[in-house]
Amino acid sequence: MKGQVFKIHSDFHYVKSADSADVFECKVREVLKKQKEKVLVGDFVQCADINNDRKTAVIEKILPRKNFLTRPSVANVEQAIIISSIKEPDLNFEQLNRYISFAKYYKIKTKLCFNKNDLSEDDSVIEKIFQIYEPLGFEIVFTSALEHFGIEDFVELLGSKITVICGNSGVGKSSLINSICPDLKIKTKEVSEKTSRGVHTTRHCEIIEIKHGRKPIKIIDTPGFSNLKFDFLMPNDVDEMFDEIKKYKSGCKFKDCLHIQEEGCNVLENIDEIDLSRYQSYLSFVQEAQEFKEKTKMQGTKKETSQKQTLNKNVAKISTKNREVSRSTFRQNIYKDLDV
Of 136-144, 165-173, 261-269, 310-318, the window that binds Zn ion (rule: CB under 5 A) is 261-269
When CB distances to ligand GDP are compared, the closest residue is 172
- Separation CA 279–CA 285 (nearest Å): 10
- 113, 141, 252, 315: which one binds Zn ion (CB under 5 A): 252
- Prior bond to 89 cis, omega within 30? yes
- Separation CA 30–CA 60 (nearest Å): 9
In Å, what is the CA distance from 108 to each residue of 75, 103, 105, 116, 204? 11, 5, 8, 25, 21
Report if residue 235 touches Zn ion, rule: CB under 5 A. Answer: no
- C-beta of 222 vs 236, nearer to ligand GDP: 222
- State which amino acid sits at residue 80: A
54, 48 contact by CB (below 8 A): no
The binder of 173, among Zn ion, ligand GDP, none, by C-beta within 5 to 8 A per type, is ligand GDP
**Residues 191, 196, 197, 198: is their CA dihedral positive or negative?**
positive
103, 112 contact by CB (below 8 A): no
- DSSP code of 65? P
Report if residue 173 touches ligand GDP, rule: CB under 6 A. Answer: yes
Closest CA to 248 of 273, 230, 231: 273
- C-beta of 15 vs 219, nearer to ligand GDP: 219
Report if residue 175 touches ligand GDP, rule: CB under 6 A. Answer: yes
- C-beta of 72 vs 172, nearer to ligand GDP: 172
- C-beta of 170 vs 264, nearer to ligand GDP: 170
Q: How far is the CB of 224 from ligand GDP (least distance, A)?
A: 12
- 108, 180, 265, 315: which one binds Zn ion (CB under 5 A): 265
- C-beta of 12 vs 254, nearer to Zn ion: 254
- 47, 171, 208, 334: which one binds ligand GDP (CB under 6 A): 171
- Separation CA 208–CA 218 (nearest Å): 6
The binder of 170, among ligand GDP, Zn ion, none, by C-beta within 5 to 8 A per type, is ligand GDP
Please name the residues in contact with 2: beta carbons below 8 A apart, sequence gap of 6 or more.
17, 18, 19, 44, 45, 46, 47, 63
* Chain contacts with Zn ion (rule: CB under 5 A): 252, 257, 259, 265, 267
* Chain contacts with ligand GDP (rule: CB under 6 A): 115-116, 118-119, 144-146, 167, 169-175
